[in-house]
Amino acid sequence: MTKKEAKMIDKDGVRADGRKPDELRPTKIEVGVLNNADGSAYIEQGKNKILAAVYGPHEVHPKHLALPHRSRLRCRYHMAPFSVDERKSPAPSRREVELSKVIREALEPSIFLEYYPRTSIDLFIEVLQAHGGTRCAGITVASLALADAGIPMRDLTAACAAGKVEGQLVLDLTDQEDKKGEADVPLAYMPNLDAVTLLQMDGQLTLEEFEKTISLSLEGCKQLYLLQKEALKVKYVAVKEDIEE
Amino acid sequence: MSMIIRVKQKQIAQLISKGKRLDGRELTETREIKVEVGVIEKAEGSARVLLGKTEVLVGVKIEVGTPFPDTPNEGVLTVNAELVPLASPSFEPGPPNENAIELSRVVDRGIRESKAIDLKKLCLEPGKKVLVAFIDVYVLNHDGNLIDASALAALAALLNTKMFKYEMEEGEVKVKPGYTPLPIQNHPIAVTFAKINGKFVVDPWLEEEQVMDARLTMTFGKDDKICALQKGGTGYFTKEQILEIANIAQEKTSEIRKLVVKD
């Protein structure tokens, strides 16, 4: 049984979902979506649907985890059991543990943690539907939830992957492109500080391709950064209108 | 971070900005590497690596198992890492924590993405029976840079692996006399950089790790292609720094590769 696999990029360089190689998926971001959380945000990037909430800075439980010189950022990246084709067990997988760590490390440089000694800031990222690039979309949305919580930050962090699919370098890979493609490079970036705070890769790239891939993901991050700022403003315009009424 | 380290932090950082390190190494110099293979007779493959005082033991076990549904024609690769409590006062008994999980996943990524093992050759009967390669990383002494030591020990152990000859006969797995090596087709080598005070050092030892802002691990295959990356720590890198590191990493990995791959 041999079935010819559908190409993911056609001869004109158009991808399976109609995008150009350097085009992001359609992205919608909303800030302040949960009323119990100190800060929250929601993102839809293609078929990805991700919620993020921030609680804190508040007292640390258990108490021995408190740090004398700064706040402790805690992060949980979690996928809902129904977010993927085959049901995922709700218990944290090794992948989720690793991603929680790298997401925390991607966001830590942006926060003035030293302003809140002996406290914790708890960040929860729930992936409701996953379709490739959830760690990056998770960082993008979590950074907004932190800003929405009013936590002093050096910059917003935007994240986006780029990679190689069927010999071509492309931005913002979908699930299929990631699985069948040759390489995937997720990257998180603070544009105002020119700082890369998350960098991972799997697949195979020459040094030359690697350089181009990074440049491509940086461009994607810059576009997302504009969307982030727009989403933050929208919330506060709405608040201002409420007050004036 | 303990107070002693906070005091030393300044000293380490000042030295590094002058291009020197507390243990006398050059910024891009690794510690002495010793590799010993076949140290555990009961394992199909094993290796012990000393990277300075960091010591890692890797054992490879091969078993018959079932393939993943999405790769019915391929054997299975599993990497697990144990930060054994005897290796450091900071390691505690219990299930692997996030550091152990990250370590195992970075080692796994290098082996998997470089296609170091030809997993198709580990298939006995498509969709039903395949060979499973368990790579268990055992950290015996922690003096910094566990990733590079573990990745090197894993590769050395894989190259050292001799497994039974398995064959399918009338729908059953039979073990034939004799041994066969694992089908290895690439040699991934990881090299880790620590960013301290705006400068980079290769192969950070424990005290450098404790004061570093961030680290970046790059894994290269034998064709000089990058096959895995992992940034760690709470600091950041600029694009220029990443590319500078990539160039040094490419050179370093081909030097280190010669220690385990003789041809």
- How would you write the pLDDT of chain A (245 residues) with one tens digit per residue? 444 567 888 888 899 999 999 999 999 999 999 999 999 999 999 999 999 999 989 999 999 999 999 999 999 999 999 999 999 999 999 999 999 999 999 999 999 999 999 999 999 999 999 999 999 999 999 999 999 999 999 999 999 999 999 999 999 999 999 999 999 999 999 999 999 999 999 999 999 999 999 999 999 999 999 999 999 999 888 878 888 87
Q: Which residue has the tokens 């999980």?
A: B101
Judge contact between A193 and A95, C-beta under 8 A.
no
For residue A218, what is the DSSP state? H
Of A199, A206, A211, the CB nearest to B225: A206
Cα–Cα separations (whole angstroms), residue A237 to A153, A234, B28, B231: 21, 5, 52, 37
- Least Cα distance to B195 among B208, B178, B179 occurs for B208
The answer to whether position A126 is within a domain reads: yes
Contact B242 A195 (CB under 8 A): no
The pLDDT value given to residue A3: 47
Supply the pLDDT for residue A156: 98
Average pLDDT value for residue range B199-224: 95
pLDDT for the residue numbered B1? 53
Q: Which of A94, A199, A203 comes nearest B101 by C-beta?
A: A94
Q: In chain A, whose CA is at the least distance from the CA of B102?
A: A98
Residues A134, A156 contacting (CB under 8 angstroms): no
Q: What is the mean pLDDT of residues B216-233?
A: 96
Q: How far is B18 from chain A (nearest CA, A)?
A: 24
Residue A79: strand, helix, or coil: strand
Q: Is residue A12 part of a domain?
A: no
Q: Taking 90 as the threshold, does the pLDDT of residue B140 lie above it?
A: yes
- Which string of DSSP letters, residue by residue, matches A84-151? SSSPPPSSPPHHHHHHHHHHHHHHGGGB-GGGSTTEEEEEEEEEEE--S-HHHHHHHHHHHHHHHTT-
Q: Could you identify the residue written with the tokens 């001869």?
A: A11
Q: Number of C-alpha atoms within 13 angstroms, CB side, residue B104? A: 23
B258 Cβ partners below 8 Å, 6+ apart? Answer: none
Q: Which of B123, B114, B234 is nearest to A202 (CA)?
A: B114
Q: Do B242 and A199 touch (CB under 8 A)?
A: yes
Residue A100 to residue A121: CA distance in whole angstroms: 14
> C-alpha distances in angstroms, A226 versus A220, A231, A233, B127, B236?
10, 9, 11, 47, 21
Chain A positions touching B104 (Cβ under 8 A) are 94
Of B221, B224, B237, the CB nearest to A196: B237
> Is A205 a member of any domain?
yes
Of A129-133, A142-146, B106-110, B196-200, the one with minimum mean pLDDT is B196-200
CATH of residue A237's domain is 3.30.230.70
Q: Is residue A71 a part of any domain in this protein?
A: yes
Contact B227 A210 (CB under 8 A): no
CATH dotted code for B27-260: 3.30.230.70
Contact B227 A202 (CB under 8 A): yes
Nearest CA in chain B to A211: B243
As a whole number, the mean pLDDT across chain B is: 94
Contact A203 B236 (CB under 8 A): no
Predicted pLDDT at B263: 66
Q: What phi, psi does B154 have (nearest 5°)? A: -65, -45
The average pLDDT across B183-189 equals 97
Q: Least CA distance to B71: which residue of chain A?
A: A179
Cα gap B244→A133, rounded to integer Å: 26
Cβ separation B239–A196 shorter than 8 A: yes
Helix axes B239-260, A207-244, angle to 10 degrees: 140
Cβ of residue B254 closer than 8 Å to a chain A Cβ: no
Whether A1 is in a domain gets the answer: no
**How far A110 CA lies from chain B's nearest CA (Å)?**
9
Q: How far apart are CA B195 and CA B218, in angstroms?
A: 14
Please give the C-alpha separations between residue B59 and each of A77, B19, B47, B133, B155, in angstroms, as whole numbers: 31, 38, 7, 10, 11
Look up residue A164 and give its two tokens: 């190689």
Mean pLDDT of B237-250: 97
Residue A113 belongs to some domain of the structure: yes
Domain spans, chain B: 27-260
Instruction: Tell which residue, A228, A162, A207, A140, has the closest CA to residue A22.
Output: A162
Cα distances (Å, whole numbers) of residue B106 to B136, B233, B259: 13, 14, 21
CA dihedral of B200, B202, B207, B210, whole degrees rounded to 10: 60
Structural domain that includes position A52: 27-244
Residues in chain B within 8 Å Cβ distance of A204: 113-114, 221, 225-227
Nearest partner of B22 among B209, B167, B227, judged by Cα:
B209
Please say whether the beta carbons of A198 and A142 come within 8 A: no
Whether A10 maps to a domain, the answer reads no
Pick among A94, A179, A184, A214 to test the B interface (most B CBs inside 10 A): A94
Greater confidence, B216 or B17?
A: B216
Nearest CA in chain A to B96: A94
Beta strands in chain A (DSSP E): 27-31, 39-45, 48-59, 72-79, 119-129, 158-165, 168-171, 183-190, 195-205
Q: How many residues does this entry show for chain A?
A: 245
Phi, psi of B178 (to 5 degrees): 100, 175
Residue A191: DSSP 8-state: G
What pLDDT, on a 0 to 100 scale, did the predictor assign at position A238? 80
What does the alpha-carbon distance between residue A23 and residue A46 come to, in Å, rounded to a whole number?
12
Q: How far apart are CA A117 and CA A105, in angstroms?
A: 18
The residue ranking higher by pLDDT, B129 or B6, is: B129
Cβ contacts (< 8 Å) between B235 and chain A: which residues?
109, 197
**Closest Cβ opposite residue B98 in set A98, A194, A200:** A98
Q: How many distinct structural domains can be found in chain A? A: 1
Which distant-in-sequence residues (6+ apart) come within 8 Å of A201 by Cβ? Answer: A183, A184, A185, A186, A210, B226, B227, B228, B229
Measure the CA angle with vertex B89, ends B234 and B99; round to 5°: 35
pLDDT of A245 reads 77
- How many Cβ pairs within 8 Å bridge chains A and B? 90
* B96, B230, B246: residue with CB nearest A210: B246
Location of structure tokens 């380290």 = B5
Q: Provide the pLDDT for residue A2.
A: 42
Q: Using the beta-carbon criterion (under 8 Å), do B112 and A195 form an inter-chain contact?
A: no
Chain A: give the shortest CA distance to residue B216, in Å: 8
| pLDDT, tens only, B41-93 | 999 999 999 999 999 999 999 999 999 999 999 999 999 999 999 999 999 99
Query: What percentage of chain B exceeds 70 in pLDDT?
Result: 98
Distance CA B229, CA B220 (A): 9
